[in-house]
Every structure is written in C-alpha cells, then in structure tokens.
Structure 1
Amino acid sequence: MTDQYRRQLRRSIWVASTAAAVAALSLAGCVNYAGIRSDKQIVPPAIYETKKSLPAEDGRWPAMDWPSQFGDPQLSTLIDEALAGNPTIDQARARIEKASSYIGTANSALYPNVTGSYSWTRERYSANGLVPPPYSGTWQSENNVLATASWDLDLWGKNRERLRQAISQEKVADAEAEVVRISLAASVASAYNHLAQLYALRDIEVREVKNREEITQITHGRVCAGLDTNVEQQTAKGETATSRSNVSDLDGQITTVRYQLGALLGKGPDRGLTITQPSLGDVADIALPDNLPADLISRRPDIVAAYWQVEAAIHDVKEAKAEFYPDVNLSASIGLDALGWGRFLTASSRQLSAGPAIHLPIFDAGALRAQLKGRYADFDYDVATYNQTLINALSDVATQVSQIRSDDRQLVDAQQALDAQTTAYQLALVRYKAGLNQQLQVLNADDNRLAAETAVVDLEMGRRDKHIGLIKALGGGFNAAGTGLAANTETPIPAPSDNAATH
C-alpha cells in the first residue's frame, strides 16, 4: 500500500466521519422544544389593594419570643418543650436532611468519577476452540486490575441546573420547617388559651352553684313561711344540680385539653395533667407594621417556601431543555491484564483506553417534548401556588385584624350588659327575699347575668386567640433575611425563557 493510497484512505474516512457527524447533528435538530413555553409569573404584592384593610400603623412585627407578651411563663416553657420534642419537628428536620443529600448527589455529577476493580478468573480453555496453543486445553488463571475515570462535560448545563434545583428544594424544606415550627407554637398557645377559657368558665359556674344554693335556702325559708310552694323549692334544687353538672362538664373538657397539650408537647397524656392553671394577662391593642404587604413575603415562611419552589421549577425546566442537546462524556481507563502471575505486573500486561462518548437525541417519539411540557406544567402550578399563598396570607392578616377589632367593640357593649344584668339580678334577689318578687324572676335574672358573664369571658378569650392567629399570620417572628432564605423578590421571578437551553 503506497503512502498516497494511505493518505486518500485517511481523507475518505475523515470525510465520511464528518458527514456522519453533520448528519447526526442535523437529525438532532428534529428533536427540539419549539413552541413549548410559559408566560406565567409570580405576582408582586403591590398589585393587591390593601391600604384600607391593612393600613400602616407603625406597629412591630412579631418577635421570636412573642409568647412572653402574654405574661405567663408557663406558656413560653410549654412552647419551648413542644419545639424540642414534638415528632412533627423531627419530621421537618428529616426532610431537610433528605433535601441536603440530593445536593450532594447533584454536585457529584459535576466532577470526574473514578472507579477501580480487580478480578481473578480460573478457567480451562477448550483444546478445540479459538484459544491457540500453548493455552488451549489447559487451565489458566487470569488477573485483571483496572482503574476507570469518566467525566460528563455538561456543555449545556444540565447537571448544573440539577444542582441549582436541589439547592432550591433544600430552601423549600428549610422554609417548610419554619412553617411547622410556627404552626406548632401557635397551636400550643391556642390550646393553652382554650384551657384558660375553660378555667374561667368553670369559675363562673362554681360561683353560680353558690348563687343557686343561696336561692335554694331563701326558697326553703319562704316555703316554711307559707310564701312559696314545694314547686319553687324543687325548682331551686333542680337549678342547683344543673349548675353542679355544668361544673363537672367543664372539668371533663379541661382534662381533654390537657391531654391535647400533652400530645402537642410530644409527650404522653399524663404530661398534660401536670400543667397548672393558666394565668394569661390582658392583650395590648394591636398595631400593624408599615409596608406590610411588601414585607410580608419575607416574613411568612409559607410564601418563602412557595417562592423557592418556583425557583426550583425554573431549574427543572432548564434541565429538561438541556436534554435536547448532545451529551459529551470523556472516559479513560488503565490497568493490567495477564494470564497467570508471572507477567501480571510487567509493562507488557498494561491496558489503556481513552475517548469521548457522544449521546445525540435523534428520534424519541416525542418523549423529551412531553417531559418538557410536564416541567412547564409544574412551573405553572408552582407559580399559581405562590400567588394563591400570597393572596391567602393577605386575607389571613386582614381577617384576624378585623375580628380582633370587632371583638373590641363587642367587649364594650358586653361589659355594659354584664354590669346591667348583675345589677338586675341583685335587685331581683333583694326583692325576692322581701317577698316582692316571684322566684321565676330571680332565676331569669340570674340566667341573664350568667349569659352576660359567659359572653364577656368568651369574647376576651376569643380576642386573645385571634391575637395568636394574627401573630401566626404575620410570620410568628420569622424573617427570611436572617435565615439564608432571603431572595430578591422586588421583581417577580420571570417565566423560564424558551429560546435558550440554560439562560
């Protein structure tokens, strides 16, 4: 074979290889994501009208130690205990650890992968097979040691986008853990406030038992004097028994709430029985912080979680787009391979290989396009979830504020009603003792006074419960700026572009 022929042969091989590569790339162009896109965007809070519902009042955002404002040290202790030992907190921590492991997995794809192997095989070669003498018909041992390295060049950023997606998902898990923490603290405070309400109602009923016993004694004296009949006497005894029954009912409800608190603390029901009677103080007037809608998105962990979920979806879309482009993987291996031990560690037994591997999506029956459509659908869903979360958060704050102020107005009238009904009862009782009123008037006046006093307690405790709800609605002391979860939310996250693979 002449040198000219060799050159022509090499030239022909090069031309054929180039043509094949061009043809492959041209065919790869048939697998594209043209026409698959989304125009969805997260909505900035400024677009929603909130000035009337959420006026700026120079108030403060809740602090992390917000339970202390209620003046009962036991409440703060219970919340700390719940946050330290409740299984839901452990579940949230486990989700964070799992998300963190995905970051490690995604990060490893950016670097070369090196593996090593060794094998020893004992084999008898056929005397009539392909193996020539002197090895045919004999037993031989083959030793093979091999080190292999491979590296995905990630020319289109697929692995980098997968890493960014994993980082965003970890931030989602972190924010969701804050949601769990705040919800648990608010649940403990709310249950504790309900326990305080039941104790207050029980105190009212205990006093009511004494009132009914006093009426019973007065009725007994009037019966002996011939002023009342046995009907009034039995009625008075029945009313007293009913009040005692109400006390027993409240005792049962108190025990039930204690069990609930024990569960919230992550302990058994007996832990709830050790909780002493609450001594919660009065709640101060509320004042909303300034710039509330804009700042709320960094104060509410559920909104922060929704934000990072959108961010993760963007990286998912970019990763799916990168799948349309060729993958280039470099691989190399070096090792030793020999029959027997004598020449195993010699230079002549070495084995070497190196080269690139290219993966081209030429025809996949629409699989990649379907995958990208699914990623865009996830993105649209996450954007809608973010927008709905923001709407719900604004409505939540406005609702709590409105209800608190409604309770404040009701409390003024309810207290006036209680004062009037108390005076009416006292007058009716005096007139009954003097024989000027019938027993029924006294009982009716007492029922009215009891209802008025119960209404005041319910409003006071309900207002405190709504205050707890407002603290939760305002983020419960969370601030993304201090947790590494802050993001630039001044400008809404744009929809992922449809004209580039990674940018």
Structure 2
Amino acid sequence: MQRLSLTAIAAAMLLAGCVSMAPDYQQPAMPVAAAWPDNPGQGRSTDPAGQSQPLAADIHWQDFVVDPALRELLAMTLENNRDLRVAALNIERSRAMYRIRSADALPSVGVAGSASSQRLPADLAPNGQAGISRQYSAGVGLSAYELDLFGRVRSLKDEALQRYLATQESRKTVQISLVAEVAHAYLLLGADHERLALARNTLENREKSYALIRRSHELGVASQLDLRQAQTLVESARVDVARYTSQAAQDGNALTLLVGAPVPDRLLPHKQNDDGVTLADVQPGLPSEVLRNRPDVLEAERLLLAANANIGAARAAFFPSLTLTASAGTSTAALSNLFDGGTGFWSFLPQLNLPIFDGGRNRANLRVSEIDRDIAVAQYEKAIQSAFRDVADALAQRSTLDEQLQAQTALVGAASDYEALSQARFRRGVDSYLGVLDAQRSQYAAQHDLITLRLQKNSNHVSLYKALGGGWRSSGANPAS
C-alpha cells in the first residue's frame, strides 16, 4: 500500500505541468496595407549586374556606416552608453525572474537541524515534577511543493519566459535607435559646422563690403541709407556666427551624452560627407517581412504572449491545488544519541485546496488577465502601425529629396549670379544698394537651405535604416524557448 502511494505521488509529480489552460495563441492580422504607399520598390530589388541587394535587416551597422570616424564613435557608444547598459541589465533581471518561475516547478529540498530546551513547572509536568526537557532533530524534506495539475505554475513560467524574451528584443530596439541617434547627431554637428563656416565667410565678405560703402559714404558717393543697409547685413551675419557657434557646441554635448564618454576631437566632423557617411541605397522589402520582424514589434508580440500565458494561470486558480510537505530524519532527547538506531521519524502532509467561495476574486482575476491580453493585442497592432508609418515617411521623403537637391543647387547658382549682377549694377550707379542687400540675403538663404537639404538626405538614409529595423538579424539570436 505504501509502495502504491509513493508510485502515485511520483506519477503525479511527473505529470505535473504537462497541462496548460492558456488559450491557443493566434497571431493578430496585420492592421496595415500589404504594400508600402505608392509601391516604392517592394521586395528585394535587383541591381544591373543581377545581384540581389540585401535588405536593411541583413546589413550590420558596421557595414551600413562607411565613415571611419562615425564607426569608431558607434563602437564607443555601444560600450559606454548608459541606456544600452540598462537594457542589458534588464535582460539579466528578466532572466533571473524566469529562473525563479522555473524553480517553482521543482520541489525545494532542504536539510534542517534543530534543538530545543524547555522547563516545565511541577503543576504542568506530566509526572508532577518540575524538570527540563530537551529535543534534538535533524532531517531532510520538501516544503509546500505544488503539483501543477492544471498548469498554473507552468503558465507563470511561460509568462516569465516571454517577458525575458521581450527584454531581448527591447535591447535590440535600443541598439538600433542608438545607432541612428548617434548618426543623426554626427550629421547634425557636421551640418552646423558647415553653417558656421558659411556664416563666418559671409561675415567676412559683408565686412569688406561695409568697409567699401563706408569709404564711399565718407567721399559723399554712398548715402547714409546705403551705409546702414550694409551694416544690417554685417550684424545679421555676426548674429548667425554666434548662433551656430553655440549650436555646434550643443551638438557636441549631445553627441558626448549619446556616446557616454568624452569624444576625441579627431572624431568630430567639421562638414558633411555627402554619400560618404552611410550607405545610400537601403531596400525596404515587403511590409509583412519587415514589420513582423522589427524588434519593437517582436517585443510587443512577446508581451502579448506573456499576457496570453497569464490567462492560463488565472484559469487554473478555479481548480483544486495539491501541495505536498514531507520530511524524514532522526530525533532524540540526547544530542549524543541523535544518529542511533530507532531514532528515525518521517512525516508526509499532502494538502488539497478546492476554492468554493472567494467573493468573485478568481473570476475578477481572470477578467483582468483577459483585459490585459486585449490591451497587449492593441499595443501590438499599434506597434505595427507605427512601424509602417516610420517606413512610409522615410520612403516618401527619399522619393523627392534628389529632386529638391537638384533644384536647390540650381537656386544657389542663380542666387550667386543675381548677387554678382547686383553688385555690378550698384557700382555703376544703375541700382541702389537695396538691390545688393536683397541679392546677398537671397544668396545666403539659398546656401543655408542647401546645407539643410543635404542634411535631410543624409539623415533620411539613417531614418530609413532604423525604420526597417536595420541590422536586427545580426543583433543576436533569441534563446530557444
């Protein structure tokens, strides 16, 4: 009989956790269109040589970034950035939480020893005489081990696993975003140095023009109005020099914060390196391939799976739970006889708990878990929609940037000719200095806008790479579930 009971207990322990009451997971449908807007190059495009160009997910950041200084900065960033360090620590924390849940599926066995001494007065002693009694014991046992007959512990373990895997995806998202942020900051610093150089060069030229106008005014050729108009151009350029000096310093501070360590001067850009900072051609691929595999979308899906597993734990709470407590060892009144024959003892305490009335607590917990799952579905769908918009915006900008740059370059040329002609007409006395003033302002604005457009084009390469989840396949594989 005893053998039969032990066999039944062992069988129950083996079968424990083989049942799960979590609902079958159904991946939500993608709430976006099947193709990018205006059908801009779906799938893997083919170059003239017939070679298939890789998608952004397959391009490691070290291959995407071609500027050696930016590569070195990114390597420093991935080593020192605090946000990335926190993301890595969150992975370790989630892994530890998963191990805790995994340990709940196994019995906790421990060794314990105890000693107790007690004096009883005569009126309480069984033999009517006051005395001191002592007891010593040592043994091994397991305490309150739950047989997971309905999968509650397993569901909680699955939830912890999915949350752990979600932190893995979160770290990939942080790394991809960090690469993009550092690249954007690097490009912005180079653009602001170009703007500063333009402002300084403009200030120098305007000061020369102002000196000529002042000399002409002293000779009675130029009017007081011409002098003040020339002065306004000088002061305006001086303001821009001060502004972009400050802006470049702030850009450097922002880059230092992202890198997480002091940035050597040799790595700071002093101009934009058009088409020489990052790869210019990044293929978008199909939405179904890109969006379901972007790390932030995968993170949202992992959290959805965790919420789904939690429903199983809430359902299992409606059913009986069986816990086992057992111990065996030796006990005696004299410490010297603790391990002598005949001092052994054992105890076995199974406990069955069947919920009958709990005031609706279990039903409310189940409802909460179901609502959490519905929230996770909505968040997963929102992540896909946000990812779709990121890619669509980057593609929409890319489709017109070349045309804008071509037109802006032509505008700069026309503005330069306009300024030269205005200067010539003013020197000949055909026009007033007001025409020169307008021409110089137009030329400066056109050159400034050209720098901005070049920055937008370079930044668009980075934005598209990030929106497509660039390099996620090379960011490390998930552990097996």
TM-score range, shorter chain: 0.7 to 0.9
Q: What is the match of residue 339 of structure 2?
A: 345
- Which of 221, 232, 239 is matched with 2:233 structurally? 239
Deviation of 1:83 after TM superposition, in Å, equals 1.3
Deviations 1:378-417 (A, max 9, x none): 1000011001100110111001111222332222222221
**Alpha carbons of structure 1 residues 325 and 70: separation in structure 2 relative to 1, 3 Å:** closer
**Distance between the aligned counterparts of 1:484 and 1:341, measured in 2?**
55
Which residue identity does 1:103 align to in structure 2?
A: Y
Q: Is the 8 A contact 2:284 2:468 kept in 1?
A: no
Deviation of 1:244 after TM superposition, in Å, equals 2.3
Which residue identity does 2:269 align to in structure 1?
A: Q
Deviations 1:331-352 (A, max 9, x none): 3211222223354333332221
Instruction: State how 1:33-432 maps to structure 2 within 5 Å.
Output: 42-44=28-30, 48=34, 50=36, 52-56=38-42, 58=45, 60-62=54-56, 63-66=58-61, 69=64, 71-132=66-127, 136-150=129-143, 151-267=145-261, 271=263, 275-283=267-275, 286=281, 288-290=283-285, 292-341=286-335, 343-432=337-426
TM-score normalized by structure 2?
Answer: 0.85
**Alpha carbons of structure 1 residues 367 and 272: separation in structure 2 relative to 1, 3 Å:** farther
Deviation of 1:205 after TM superposition, in Å, equals 1.1
Q: Is the 8 A contact 2:229 2:434 kept in 1?
A: no
**Distance between the aligned counterparts of 1:70 and 1:191, measured in 2?**
14
1:348 counterpart SS class: coil
**Distance between the aligned counterparts of 1:306 and 1:60, measured in 2?**
26
Deviations 1:146-182 (A, max 9, x none): 3222442211122122221111111001101111111
Deviation of 1:69 after TM superposition, in Å, equals 4.8
Instruction: Say which is worse superposed, 255-264 or 243-252, in terms of deviation.
Output: 243-252
Q: Is the 8 A contact 1:218 1:433 kept in 2?
A: no
% same residue: 24
**Distance between the aligned counterparts of 1:54 and 1:203, measured in 2?**
37
**Alpha carbons of structure 1 residues 104 and 347: separation in structure 2 relative to 1, 3 Å:** same
Deviations 1:81-102 (A, max 9, x none): 1111111111111111111011
Which residue identity does 2:164 align to in structure 1?
A: E
1:288 counterpart SS class: coil
**Distance between the aligned counterparts of 2:127 and 2:312, measured in 1?**
55
1:425 counterpart SS class: helix
TM-score normalized by structure 1?
Answer: 0.82
Deviation of 1:48 after TM superposition, in Å, equals 4.6
**Distance between the aligned counterparts of 1:77 and 1:415, measured in 2?**
32
**Distance between the aligned counterparts of 1:79 and 1:243, measured in 2?**
35
Q: Is the 8 A contact 1:46 1:294 kept in 2?
A: no
1:131 counterpart SS class: coil
Q: Is the 8 A contact 1:37 1:376 kept in 2?
A: no
Instruction: Say which is worse superposed, 419-428 or 147-156, in terms of deviation.
Output: 147-156
**Alpha carbons of structure 1 residues 99 and 296: separation in structure 2 relative to 1, 3 Å:** same
- Which of 433, 436, 439 is matched with 1:442 structurally? 436
**Distance between the aligned counterparts of 2:124 and 2:435, measured in 1?**
118
- Larger Cα-atom Rg: 1
**Distance between the aligned counterparts of 2:474 and 2:355, measured in 1?**
42
**Distance between the aligned counterparts of 2:332 and 2:40, measured in 1?**
81
**Distance between the aligned counterparts of 2:35 and 2:301, measured in 1?**
21
**Distance between the aligned counterparts of 2:440 and 2:267, measured in 1?**
33
Q: Is the 8 A contact 2:30 2:384 kept in 1?
A: no
Which residue identity does 1:163 align to in structure 2?
A: K
**Distance between the aligned counterparts of 1:239 and 1:281, measured in 2?**
30
Q: Is the 8 A contact 2:70 2:267 kept in 1?
A: no
1:479 counterpart SS class: helix
**Alpha carbons of structure 1 residues 339 and 125: separation in structure 2 relative to 1, 3 Å:** farther
Q: What is the match of residue 497 of structure 1?
A: none
Deviation of 1:213 after TM superposition, in Å, equals 2.4
**Distance between the aligned counterparts of 1:277 and 1:123, measured in 2?**
81
Structure 1: state its 5+ residue gaps. 1-33, 488-503
Q: What is the match of residue 456 of structure 2?
A: 462
Instruction: Say which is worse superposed, 89-98 or 117-126, in terms of deviation.
Output: 117-126
**Alpha carbons of structure 1 residues 47 and 471: separation in structure 2 relative to 1, 3 Å:** closer
**Alpha carbons of structure 1 residues 179 and 285: separation in structure 2 relative to 1, 3 Å:** closer
- Which of 460, 465, 470 is matched with 1:476 structurally? 470
**Distance between the aligned counterparts of 1:295 and 1:275, measured in 2?**
36
Which residue identity does 2:92 align to in structure 1?
A: E
Q: Alpha carbon RMSD of aligned pairs, Å?
A: 2.8
**Alpha carbons of structure 1 residues 427 and 229: separation in structure 2 relative to 1, 3 Å:** same
**Distance between the aligned counterparts of 2:61 and 2:112, measured in 1?**
60
Q: Is the 8 A contact 1:310 1:379 kept in 2?
A: yes
Structure 2: state its 5+ residue gaps. 1-20, 46-52
Which residue identity does 1:281 align to in structure 2?
A: N
Q: Is the 8 A contact 1:60 1:289 kept in 2?
A: no
Which residue identity does 1:211 align to in structure 2?
A: N
Q: Is the 8 A contact 1:99 1:169 kept in 2?
A: yes
